[in-house]
């Protein structure tokens, strides 16, 4: 399967540069896989498609202020360090810019209370660094770090909480699970009042969000591993829905990847670990019955995942219609519901 098969034309002006207010006033495109019917509405209309007995699965990860600006201890040259994932306490996988000169032994200083030393390179072009700090690392990071936004967003965000979901609680992501940005506390309450359950799992979004697919044969692409965790409560909610004939509706591609990683013989298993799962057309879903997601970049692993669920031609046809109707695309854009 070729990378070019997942391309589509997107006018630059349709890339959303800022979040819409209120959160649930974004638009919603609904694609029915069986009938191929496409409907258009508002995100708050999601309630019309939720049934008693359904379980919606959310990723409760929280974005950390992952971008640090520092200087080389030896030359004073400016260096950007982007945190990806914590390997052990104090040791992180990071991206460094400029990267070519970031050799083992180089020390980068961010202020009197924080510095790091480059330990080694990684197989994806990043670095492993060890931080030295005085105080509590998370508090220092909150003071010195910046919340990272995707490179296609050029406007500054006045309120960093708008790049967090209202239910975020587990710190560790380099990017937000953006399908969840549309939910408000009121909408979550209305979903529960309708008889559906909410389940929260965790996947800390890492390099895979930023890493483009370079291989023309997509099966040659290797996903970067990301940490996930599934609680006993979440596993019970999902398994109960499947046993009782309800649907499991995943909010975002990170929730899908977690569910499909942790499934064992048709049941969701509680536990934690690392996933490198790459879902593309031909994959047989074991747990997911519906998906709430944003519109994804051309040629991305995310549009491949959605194509695996709903069919590449149907997805690209829906994207074409979304472009024609001037939907807003990507992280701060509008949403899709696939059933």
Q: 210 pLDDT exceeds 70? A: no
67-144: CATH topology: Thrombin, subunit H (2.40.10)
**What confidence tens digit (pLDDT) does each residue in 108-156 have?**
999 999 999 999 999 888 999 999 999 999 999 999 999 989 989 998 8
Long-range pairs of 19-23 with CB within 8 A, sequence gap ≥ 24: 19/157, 19/162, 19/163, 19/181, 19/332, 20/328, 20/332, 22/184, 23/166, 23/181, 23/182, 23/183, 23/184
In total, the chain counts a number of residues equal to 339
Q: 208 pLDDT exceeds 80? A: no
Distance of CA 17 to the CA centre of its chain: 17
3-63+158-338: CATH topology: QueA-like (3.40.1780)
Give the SS3 label for residue 265.
Answer: coil
The reported pTM is 0.94
Rounded to whole angstroms, the Cα distance separating 211 from 16 reads 20
Average pLDDT over residues 250-274: 97
**Could you tell me which of 28, 15, 6, 111 has the C-alpha nearest to residue 332?**
15
- How confident is the prediction for the chain on average, in pLDDT? 96
């Amino acid at each position: 399967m070729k990378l070019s098969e997942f391309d589509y034309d997107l006018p630059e002006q349709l890339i959303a540069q800022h979040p819409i207010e209120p959160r649930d006033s974004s638009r919603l495109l609904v694609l029915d896989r069986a009938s191929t019917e496409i409907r258009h509405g508002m995100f708050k209309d999601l309630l019309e498609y939720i049934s008693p007995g359904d379980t919606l699965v959310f990723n409760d990860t929280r974005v950390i202020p992952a971008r640090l600006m520092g200087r080389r201890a030896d030359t004073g040259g400016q260096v950007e360090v982007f945190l990806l994932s914590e390997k052990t306490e104090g040791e992180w996988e990071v991206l460094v810019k400029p990267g070519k000169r970031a050799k083992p032994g180089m020390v980068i200083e961010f202020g009197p209370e924080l510095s790091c030393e480059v330990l080694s390179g990684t197989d994806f072009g990043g670095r492993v660094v060890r931080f030295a700090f005085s105080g509590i690392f998370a508090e220092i990071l909150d003071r010195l770090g910046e919340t990272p936004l995707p490179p296609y967003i050029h406007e500054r965000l006045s309120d960093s909480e708008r790049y967090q979901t209202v239910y975020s609680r587990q710190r560790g992501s380099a990017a937000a699970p953006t399908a969840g940005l549309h939910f408000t506390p009121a909408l979550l309450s209305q979903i529960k009042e309708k008889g559906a359950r909410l389940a929260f799992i965790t996947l800390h979004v890492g390099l895979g969000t930023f890493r483009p697919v370079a291989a023309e044969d997509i099966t040659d692409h290797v996903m970067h591993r990301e940490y996930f965790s599934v609680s006993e409560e979440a596993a019970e909610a999902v398994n109960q829905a499947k046993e009782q004939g309800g649907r499991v509706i995943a909010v975002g591609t990170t929730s899908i990847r977690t569910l499909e990683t942790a499934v064992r013989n048709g049941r969701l298993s509680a536990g934690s670990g690392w996933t490198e799962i790459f879902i593309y057309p031909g994959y047989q879903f074991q747990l997911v019955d519906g998906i709430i997601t944003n519109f994804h970049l051309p040629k991305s692993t995310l549009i491949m995942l959605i194509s695996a669920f709903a069919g590449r031609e149907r997805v690209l046809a829906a994207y074409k219609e979304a472009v024609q109707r001037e939907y807003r695309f990507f992280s701060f854009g509008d949403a899709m519901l696939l059933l």
